[in-house]
């Protein structure tokens, strides 16, 4: 892929579903993202899961010569929930450590559709960015308009002064894999001085 990497992105954290019962359009997007990041030699950081979109993006990246680092708590390994062929696997004691490590290892984050876990990870990393703890690009990959309701909720939070207008720039919204990659490569780093606007 001929894309300009203005942010010198070497790794991207991917938040996504572990469900196997979702529409094929989500699996297709995950496969495309895994393949294209691998072709660009961008390492994927994910939750090391062996099911759903996590499995798909890992399999596709590895099949195309990419590298995937999975971060997973010990209790999930004991349940055999981890992917068996990761390039690297980092084991944590807690879910909190897992999320912190994934953020530390990444140069950007992309959230594919997912359930409570994905939504929680996405909102936490947005909160960290608002507080100046994570300054890197955050992209919602809005396949099948999945994030429309969340975006409407965030709009409402801004309209009713729970957040500032400036906070709309904490995240970007992509409707395709190519658009998401472009946003990751080209969205400027968040200004840490904007943490003063965390409170209203």
> Which residue, among 69, 22, 23, 7, has the nearest Cα to 43 in the 3D structure?
69
Name the token pair of 110: 């992309």
**Predicted confidence band of residue 2 (pLDDT cuts 50, 70, 90):** low
pLDDT tens for residues 60-119?
A: 999 999 999 999 999 999 999 999 999 999 999 999 999 999 999 999 999 999 999 999
Q: Flag whether pLDDT at 1 surpasses 70.
A: no
Measuring CA to CA, which residue among 108, 75, 79, 109 is closest to residue 91?
A: 75
| Torsion of Cα atoms, 40 then 43 then 46 then 51, to 10° | 60
pLDDT-above-90 percentage for the chain: 92
- CA torsion through residues 16, 9, 130, 104, sign: positive
- The structural domains of the chain, with segments of one domain joined by +, span 11-187
Arithmetic mean of pLDDT, 15-38: 98
Mean pLDDT of 38-57: 98
Place of tokens 């912190």: 100
CA gap 99, 124 in Å, rounded: 9
Within 13 A of 39's CA, how many CA atoms are on the CB side?
A: 12
Beta bridge partners of 140: 111, 173
Question: Which residues have a Cβ under 8 Å from the Cβ of 56 and sit 6 or more positions away?
Answer: 27, 30, 31, 34
- Tens digit of pLDDT for each residue in 129-147? 999 999 999 999 999 999 9
Answer whether 0.85 is exceeded by the pTM.
yes
CATH placement of domain 11-187: 3.40.50.450
Average pLDDT, the chain: 96
């Amino acid at each position: 892929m001929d894309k300009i990497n203005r942010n010198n992105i070497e790794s991207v954290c991917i938040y996504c579903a572990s469900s196997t019962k979702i529409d094929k359009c989500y699996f297709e997007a995950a496969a495309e993202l895994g393949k294209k990041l691998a072709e660009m030699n961008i390492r994927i950081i994910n939750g090391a899961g062996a099911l759903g979109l996590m499995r798909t993006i890992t399999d596709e990246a590895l099949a195309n010569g990419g590298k995937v680092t999975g971060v997973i708590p010990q209790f999930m390994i004991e349940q055999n929930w981890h992917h068996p062929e990761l390039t690297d696997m980092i084991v944590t004691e807690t879910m909190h450590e897992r999320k912190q490590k994934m953020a530390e290892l990444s140069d950007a984050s992309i959230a594919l559709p997912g359930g409570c876990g994905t939504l929680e990870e996405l909102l936490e990393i947005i909160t960290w960015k608002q507080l100046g703890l994570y300054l890197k690009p955050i992209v919602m990959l809005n396949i099948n308009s999945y994030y429309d309701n969340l975006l409407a909720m965030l709009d409402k939070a801004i309209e009713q002064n729970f957040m500032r207008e400036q906070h709309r720039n904490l995240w970007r919204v992509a409707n395709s894999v190519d658009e998401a990659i472009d946003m990751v490569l080209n969205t400027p780093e968040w200004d840490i001085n904007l943490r003063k606007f965390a409170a209203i």
